[in-house]
Amino acid sequence: MKRILLLVLSCILLTATYALAGQTELTFSSGAGPMAGALNIARIQGYMAENGIDGKIHSYKNGKQSFDKYLAGIDDFGTCSIIPIVLTDFDTTQHRLVGTLSYTDNQTKVLVRKSAGIQTVADLKGKTIATVNATTAHFYISKFLEINGVSCDDVKIVFLTKKAMPEAIATRQVDALCMHGMPIENAKKLLGDDWAIFEDGTILRKYVVMVTSTKMVTETPDTLKGVLRAVLKADDFLKKNIDTSISILAKDKRYPLAVMDETVRHEMDYDLSIRQSLLLMLEDVEKWAIENQLVSRKTPRNYLELIAFEPLEAIAPNKVTLIH
C-alpha cells in the first residue's frame, strides 16, 4: 500500500514538474492594496500558467516602493499609480507602460476630526493635514484645496507614513488625513463618532498601471502578450464572480473582508486598457509636479513615447482607445 501511495505521489510531482517545464518565470511588483488585484486573480486561477507563465507577485508597502523595486531590477513588471512614474527620474527609453490594470474616481478621501472645528472645507484653513509624500493622495489634496478655494499656504501639510496616520489624528497631532484604504478605516475606529469625510470624484482618476522593460516589449513580445491575456481573463472572472474574487483578494492581500468588499464593489474598476484619459492624466500630473518643483526637469516628458500600445492592441484592439 505504501509503495502504491509513493508511486502516486511521484506521478503527481512528475506531472507538476512537466507542467512547469517550458514556462517563463516572471515576477510582478505590487502595492499593498487591491488595485493590481487582477494579477493575483490571474495567478491563483491559473490564467498565467495557461499562458506559459510561472508568475510570482511581490507585495510592497505602497506603489512607490513597488515601482522602485521594479526599477532596481528585482521584478520583471512593476505596478503603481502614475504618480511615482511622474516623480521618479529614470531612463524612459528603457521602460514601457503596457496597460492600465484598474482605475478609481472615488478611492481617495479627506477625513477630518470634527472636534477640530471642521464642518466644511473652508474650515480646513489654519489646520494641519497629513498625507503621504509623492503619492496620489498628495496630488489629490493639492487639487482638492485649490478647487475649494483654499490655498496650500492656508494649511499645514505634513508627510507621514500610512501606518502613523490614524494615531496622529486620534492624538490631535493633525486635524485631517488625505489617504485611502486602511489608514482611513483605522482612523475611523480610533475617532469613534468624531470624524467626517470630504471627497470629490471629479478631481482625480487614479490609475494603477503596469510597466515593463523595453527589452520585454521588443525581444519577448509573445511572453508579454501571454501576461496581457492572463489579465484580460482575470478581469472577466472578476466581473462574473465578484463574491469569490473579493474573498480571494482579501485572503491574498491580507485585508479585512468587509473593507475589501467595499473597495472592490464601490471604489474601483478592473479594466486592462490604454485609454486616452490615461495620457491626459499623466500630462496633468506632470504639469503639477513641475509647477510645484517636485521634479528637477523644466520641460515636460512626452508620455506618448513611454506607452507601448501595440501588444494590447494586437490581442484586444477594443481595449486601446488612445489616439496614436
Say how far residue 217 (Cα) sits from the centre of its chain: 21
Fold observed for domain 109-198: D-Maltodextrin-Binding Protein; domain 2 (3.40.190)
Cβ-based burial of 171 (10 A; exposed 0-12, middle 13-18, buried ≥19): exposed
Rounded Cα gap, residues 303 and 298, in angstroms: 15
Confirm if 309 and 274 have CB atoms less than 8 A apart.
Answer: yes
Task: Report the length, in residues, of the chain.
Answer: 324
Say how far residue 248 (Cα) sits from the centre of its chain: 17
In this prediction, residue 135 carries a pLDDT of: 85
In this prediction, residue 3 carries a pLDDT of: 54
Tell me the pLDDT of the chain (324 aa) as tens digits: 455 444 444 444 434 443 445 799 999 999 999 999 999 999 999 999 999 999 999 999 889 999 999 999 999 999 999 999 999 999 999 999 999 999 999 889 999 999 999 999 999 999 999 999 888 899 999 999 999 999 989 999 999 999 999 999 999 999 999 998 889 999 999 999 999 999 998 888 999 999 999 999 999 999 999 999 999 999 999 999 999 999 999 999 999 999 999 999 999 999 999 999 999 999 999 999 999 899 999 999 999 999 999 999 999 999 999 998
Matching fold, domains 24-104+205-319 and 109-198: yes
Fold observed for domain 24-104+205-319: D-Maltodextrin-Binding Protein; domain 2 (3.40.190)
In this prediction, residue 263 carries a pLDDT of: 92
Alpha helices in the chain (DSSP H): 2-20, 37-44, 47-50, 63-71, 82-87, 136-147, 165-170, 182-191, 214-219, 221-240, 242-253, 257-266, 276-291, 310-315
Rounded Cα gap, residues 270 and 238, in angstroms: 8
Confirm if 188 and 70 have CB atoms less than 8 A apart.
Answer: no
In this prediction, residue 201 carries a pLDDT of: 86
The SS3 of residue 107 is: coil
DSSP code of residue 301:
P
Neighbours of 82 (CB within 10 A): 24
Confirm if 322 and 274 have CB atoms less than 8 A apart.
Answer: yes
What are the sequence ranges of the domains in the chain?
A: 24-104+205-319, 109-198
